Amino acid sequence: MQNIVSTIFNRFSSKSLPLVLLTFLLTNVSAAQDLQIERKVDNLLSSMTLKEKIGQMTQFGGINKKYEEMIKLGEVGSFLGVKGAEKINELQRLAVEKSRLGIPLIFGNDVIHGYHTTFPIPLGAAASWNPELVQLAAKIAAGEAALEGTKWTFAPMVDIARDPRWGRIAEGAGEDPYLGSVMAEAEVMGFQGNNLNNDLSIAACAKHFAAYGAAEAGRDYNTVDISERTLREVYLPPFKAAVDAGVSTLMSAFNSLNGIPASANYHILTQILRKEWGFTGFVVSDANSIGELINHGIAKDEKEAALKALTAGVDMDMGGDAFTGNVYSPNLASLVKEGKISEKLIDQSVRRILRIKFRLGLFDHPYTDTLYIKNHIPDQKLRDSAALRLAEESIVMLKNDNNLLPLRKDLTSVAVIGPLADDKYDPLGPWNCSPIPKRVTTVLDGIKNKLSPTTKIKFIKGCDIESNNKRQLDNAIRIAGQSDIVILVVGEAANMSGEAASRTNLDLPGVQEELVEKVAKVGKPTIVLLMNGRPLTIDWIAKHIPSVLECWFLGDQSGNAIANVLFGDYNPSGRLPVTFPRSVGQIPIYYDHLNTGKPFEENNKFTSKYLDSPVTPLYPFGFGLSYTTFKYENLKVEKNKIKIGGSTDVSINVTNTGKISGSEVVQLYLRDLVASVSMPVKELKGFQKIYLNPGETKTLKFIITPKMLELYDVNMKKTIEPGKCEVMIGGSSVDLLSNYFEIIK
């Protein structure tokens, strides 16, 4: 069947056949394929014992002799944490050739932002506002993972995060549902390609379902209690985008959601995911999140936990800490025998798992064909260039007073100071998979590669990332005094964000703040490069340092990308995917907030404000500077009245008013001014990243579609209401031109 698809696609390219007919043909072919898979699943299911069925629902982490026996008995369906084609093929052989039915295993790993070639962390990649590049990175990661036997990644992590105390903000696309949805789709398409049955494709997994990022106080694994409205308007859209993009699996989250743990939450796992969205893949629990239903207090023992998770809609049980915490394997059979669950419920889950294994082609080609993959994945040079491009586009310039940047390459002397300046590990971020640290270009390397041989470069760490050791401070100050320019490289250790890495204080850790202040006070032109997995409260830096680049953790190409921006070989184009607060006291702070009944007014005490802080963030969502400047003019709305269900074009002229070429992220926001419910003061509904030469003007067009105008009414029914809308376009969420249109009945 597969070759039929490729034959049609190759022979009847869109040139010779109207696209509509081509689409019709391919749609029907894929429908025929699906039908064929369903038949195979039915046949296989009908010949499986209950034990073999439960085996498919069981995932172990790591391997030992006991598991090898269980493979031969058909009592395990998946492994996590096993890497390398040789080992994986060896275990796969046991399943395919030694077990009664020969059902292949599916091997999963956390390929979050690269397998060997490590890309920017997802929060950094989101700052590129370049979904095509994000998709390419995922595609490259998929090829490298598939080459080593991994056919399933526990990515993309699509949790919206409005609280930077939460360390896992590093793993997602930030605070916005629309940007998060665009990135979710890009990653799913990148990992899975347009044909899951391809040797270079791997199954994706949208996680953590759902609303894990809304953990109270930003404390990982903590309680989530949000309204159905917030759940559906903010936290679910990226999951829906992933499902619409064809994601093969989802992972249920650790957190409780409105009193019901996500891994036993029928409302999201079945009502929304299956009945409303029509998802046909399978749901894997997070590690031991089923067993943890006991801690949540909704199961008295593992047996009850297994019952509740399966009934809610979790199909596969990912083992516990030591991955011995599986609860499906030891309990489901007795639950069936006791009549507490029907075997139909088991069959439903097994069907979903087998469906994905068939779609992945694991039955047709269960073994990793390293030769084929090696000959078909892009060569390392191409992978590195993709990593460099995404790293460059992820960098956000937060400040550049008096155009201190870009620097000349023939400087007389430069001081490079900071604990992250010559670090090959932390730039790999908290969720690197199988990185090759020696391939990481550090900031110091990147700067050395750029500068002329005559430039004197002095380097000192100055302090550690986290310790209070000040022994090098004086030397750092001395070196700064001896140099023309000072580049400070500060931030977090990679393990200070990611899982189980919440912080109550978002200042620079250790004595780095003191290092920055003392070095800056030497009085030389000073640049701060931030390497971090979350927004930091950098008020002093924002006030006193002329140039600041947000560099996140950029992966292998960190030093090259940063040096390209520092010395003007790349004009920074990153825009913040998340708001930077002035202080932890402002959190949660996000751009798409409601107006309230007393919106902030500077000179009116009785409005929504603080006594001890401005209400505005340090840096807003969508913000980022360039080495050039852009002007927005003529925001036009084609129709100032549109019927419900109708659409209208809007256009705007954008001009590069500076002296060098550069990219601009043109952002479209909407506001429903009066509705049956309070609506955010603005919501991102579209963006276009464009490249303009000096003096060049482009007229950009956006189409305001009915989908953009939908809202949940008082009864949580999705609808479009008549009324006046504001359309805003600009280069960040705070720098916007406005116009209006009205929706009429």
Q: Which residues are catalytic?
A: 286
Binding mask 221-260 for ligand GLC (x = CB under 6 A): ----------------------------------------
Residue 209 sits in the site that holds ligand GLC (CB under 6 A)? no
Least Å distance between CB 540 and ligand GLC? 34
Residue 287 sits in the site that holds ligand GLC (CB under 6 A)? yes
DSSP element (H, E) containing 692 = strand 683-692
Query: Do residues 250 and 156 touch, judged by C-beta distance below 8 A?
Result: no
How many angstroms separate the Cα of 227 from the Cα of each of 169, 222, 261, 716?
A: 21, 16, 15, 11
When binding is defined by CB under 6 A, the residue of 75, 110, 384, 672 that contacts ligand GLC is 110
- Tokens of residue 615, six digits: 């209400």
When binding is defined by CB under 6 A, the residue of 286, 315, 392, 423 that contacts ligand GLC is 286
How many angstroms separate the Cα of 452 from the Cα of each of 210, 413, 420, 457, 678?
A: 52, 10, 23, 10, 58
Residues of 582-615 as b/e, b for ≥16 C-beta within 10 angstroms?
A: bbbebbebbbbbeeeeeeeeeeeeeeeeeeeeee
Binding mask 143-162 for ligand GLC (x = CB under 6 A): -----------x--------
**Residue with smaller CB distance to ligand GLC, 113 or 207:** 207
Q: What are phi and psi of 102, to 5 degrees?
A: 65, 30
**Residue with smaller CB distance to ligand GLC, 154 or 591:** 154
For helices 19-46 and 2-11, give the axis angle rounded to 10 degrees: 170
Residue 405 sits in the site that holds ligand GLC (CB under 6 A)? no
- Smallest CA-to-CA distance from 742 within 728, 729, 727, 732 is with 727
Least Å distance between CB 319 and ligand GLC? 10
For helices 558-566 and 443-450, give the axis angle rounded to 10 degrees: 50
Least Å distance between CB 352 and ligand GLC? 19
Least Å distance between CB 207 and ligand GLC? 6
Residue 292 sits in the site that holds ligand GLC (CB under 6 A)? no
Site for ligand GLC in 503-562 (CB under 6 A): none
Query: Do residues 224 and 208 touch, judged by C-beta distance below 8 A?
Result: no
How many residues of this chain interact with ligand GLC, rule: CB under 6 A?
A: 7
Q: How far is CA 424 from the centre of its chain?
A: 23
Least Å distance between CB 106 and ligand GLC? 14
Q: What is the DSSP letter of 408?
A: P
- Smallest CA-to-CA distance from 106 within 84, 80, 142 is with 80
Residues paired with residue 725 on neighbouring β-strands, in sequence order: 672, 741
Amino acid occupying residue 467:
S
> What whole-number distance in Å separates Cα of residue 735 and Cα of residue 244?
32
Least Å distance between CB 107 and ligand GLC? 13
Least Å distance between CB 289 and ligand GLC? 8
- 3-class secondary-structure state, position 276: helix
Residue nearest to ligand GLC as judged by C-beta position: 154
Q: How far is CA 414 from the centre of its chain?
A: 36
Sign of CA dihedral 385, 391, 397, 403: negative
Residue 304 sits in the site that holds ligand GLC (CB under 6 A)? no
Least Å distance between CB 235 and ligand GLC? 16
Query: Do residues 329 and 54 touch, judged by C-beta distance below 8 A?
Result: yes
How many angstroms separate the Cα of 576 from the Cα of each of 262, 333, 549, 579, 681?
A: 29, 50, 11, 7, 18
Least Å distance between CB 219 and ligand GLC? 15
**Residue with smaller CB distance to ligand GLC, 150 or 558:** 150
**Residue with smaller CB distance to ligand GLC, 216 or 696:** 216
Residue 590 sits in the site that holds ligand GLC (CB under 6 A)? no
Q: How many CB atoms lie within 10 A of CB 447?
A: 25
**Residue with smaller CB distance to ligand GLC, 110 or 556:** 110
Least Å distance between CB 536 and ligand GLC? 23
Residue 207 sits in the site that holds ligand GLC (CB under 6 A)? yes
**Residue with smaller CB distance to ligand GLC, 133 or 155:** 155
**Residue with smaller CB distance to ligand GLC, 207 or 461:** 207
Half-sphere exposure of 346 (CA within 13 A, CB side): 28
> What whole-number distance in Å separates Cα of residue 426 and Cα of residue 509?
14
Site for ligand GLC in 59-98 (CB under 6 A): 80
When binding is defined by CB under 6 A, the residue of 34, 90, 499, 638 that contacts ligand GLC is 499
DSSP element (H, E) containing 635 = strand 630-637
**Residue with smaller CB distance to ligand GLC, 499 or 507:** 499
Q: How many CB atoms lie within 10 A of CB 477?
A: 18
- Tokens of residue 634, six digits: 């003529």
Interface contacts to ligand GLC, rule CB under 6 A: 80, 110, 154, 207, 286-287, 499
